[in-house]
């Protein structure tokens, strides 16, 4: 596998595209490098078995491909495994299936995701699960698990779905969110929930916060019954073992963003 120094746009690395094709047909699929097109086989060795249906198709990218964009974008079924790093827009707009990146992803991973499961083994960069510029609707379903830290604007304009960050989350997490859930097991940075309107959505800060916007108003400290259910789901279904330590945790609840009449919640776990 020899990649050029500039990004390769490879939306064809997707179960929906390769299922039902021969290996030669898959190798001939077009990818974009700048304003030129090349066959996929120019950069990847194509081998293995091909399924008839996307739901039965598994794709393994053997190595780090941080300059390859759009892996698994818009996938509806099947499984993709990247044994290393992946580039921008990994899993963007996916609506089903499972996409696993063993190491890091770059910007816009899971952007405007609609369903399925995206697992990132280490860090994601900026705009994970976010809306694209000019769009008023980001993630509307599915689940993203970030094994390390996430960058700026995680889950902006989120409407539904779930994002779990096992490390720290950068500034503006959950900005403009109007539904969905974000869990941050490390420290949540400043300006989270900026101009969030609510609609049942919340940000759970389990490892502390840098600061909370003054337009969020403290409401109460309590033990929400629903949080115990979420923590069990994260531990038992998604393998987030540290969630088990919060089954009986108390949370400080803040409501906002009052600047836009929002009813969203920031829940901050009390330290023992």
C-alpha–C-alpha distance, residues 52 and 2, integer Å: 29
- The 10 Å Cβ neighbour count of residue 190 is 14
Does any domain span residue 19?
no
Beta bridge partners of 253: 220, 267
| DSSP-derived secondary structure letter, 241 | G
**What pLDDT does residue 272 have?**
67
Please check whether residue 62 is in contact with residue 81, taking contact to mean a CB–CB distance below 8 angstroms: no
- The 10 Å Cβ neighbour count of residue 60 is 12
Does any domain span residue 98?
no
Question: Which CA distances in Å does 48 have to 23, 74, 87, 247?
Answer: 8, 23, 23, 44
Placement of tokens 């969030």 in the chain? 196
**What pLDDT does residue 24 have?**
98
H/E stretch holding 98 reads strand 95-101
C-alpha–C-alpha distance, residues 244 and 57, integer Å: 34
C-alpha–C-alpha distance, residues 229 and 214, integer Å: 30
Enter the tokens of residue 134. Answer: 């000019």
Enter the tokens of residue 219. Answer: 């409401």
**What pLDDT does residue 1 have?**
65
C-alpha–C-alpha distance, residues 187 and 66, integer Å: 26
C-alpha–C-alpha distance, residues 68 and 111, integer Å: 16
Q: What is the pLDDT of residues 90-109, one digit of tens each?
A: 999 999 999 999 999 999 99
Sequence-ordered list of residues with C-beta below 8 angstroms from that of 96, at least 6 positions apart, any chain: 75, 76, 77, 115, 116
C-alpha–C-alpha distance, residues 265 and 269, integer Å: 13
> How many Cα atoms occupy the beta-carbon half-sphere of 35 within 13 Å?
0
Does any domain span residue 33?
no
Q: How far is residue 114 CA from its own chain's centroid?
A: 11
C-alpha–C-alpha distance, residues 262 and 248, integer Å: 28
Does any domain span residue 95?
no
Number of domain units in the chain: 1
Per-residue model confidence as pLDDT tens for the chain (272 residues): 678 889 999 999 999 999 999 999 999 999 999 999 999 999 999 999 999 999 999 999 999 999 999 999 999 999 999 999 999 999 999 999 999 999 999 999 999 999 999 999 999 999 999 999 999 999 999 999 999 999 999 999 999 999 999 999 999 999 999 999 999 999 999 999 999 998 889 999 999 999 999 999 999 999 999 999 999 999 999 999 999 999 999 999 999 999 999 999 999 999 86
C-alpha–C-alpha distance, residues 141 and 85, integer Å: 24
- The 10 Å Cβ neighbour count of residue 242 is 13
Does any domain span residue 199?
yes
Beta bridge partners of 117: 98, 143
Does any domain span residue 32?
no
Placement of tokens 């901050």 in the chain? 268
Does any domain span residue 218?
yes
Sequence-ordered list of residues with C-beta below 8 angstroms from that of 56, at least 6 positions apart, any chain: 19, 78
C-alpha–C-alpha distance, residues 148 and 185, integer Å: 10
Look up the domain containing 123 and give its range. Answer: 107-269
Does any domain span residue 184?
yes
């Amino acid at each position: 596998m020899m990649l050029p120094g500039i990004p390769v746009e490879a939306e064809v690395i997707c179960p929906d595209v390769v299922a039902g094709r021969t290996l030669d047909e898959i190798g001939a699929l077009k990818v974009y490098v700048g304003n030129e097109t090349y066959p996929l086989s120019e950069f990847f060795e194509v081998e293995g078995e091909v399924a008839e249906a996307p739901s039965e198709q598994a794709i393994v990218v053997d190595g780090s491909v941080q300059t390859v964009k759009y892996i698994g974008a818009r996938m509806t079924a099947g499984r993709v495994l990247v044994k290393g790093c992946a580039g921008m827009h990994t899993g963007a707009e996916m609506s089903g299936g499972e996409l696993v990146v063993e190491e890091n992803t770059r910007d816009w991973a899971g952007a405007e995701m609609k369903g399925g499961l995206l697992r990132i083994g280490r860090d994601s960069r900026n705009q994970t699960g976010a809306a694209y510029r000019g769009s008023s609707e980001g993630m509307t379903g599915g689940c993203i698990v970030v094994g390390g830290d996430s960058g700026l604007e995680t889950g902006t304009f989120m409407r539904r779905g779930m994002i779990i960050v096992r490390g720290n989350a950068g500034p503006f997490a959950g900005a403009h969110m109007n539904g969905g859930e974000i869990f941050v097991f490390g420290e949540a940075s400043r300006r989270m929930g900026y101009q969030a309107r609510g609609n049942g959505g919340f940000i759970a800060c389990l490892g502390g916060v840098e600061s909370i916007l003054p337009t969020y108003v403290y409401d109460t400290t309590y033990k929400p019954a629903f949080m115990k259910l979420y923590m069990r789901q994260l531990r038992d279904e998604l393998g987030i073992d540290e969630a088990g330590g919060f089954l009986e945790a108390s949370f400080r609840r803040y409501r906002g963003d009052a600047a836009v009449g929002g009813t969203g919640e920031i829940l901050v776990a009390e330290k023992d």
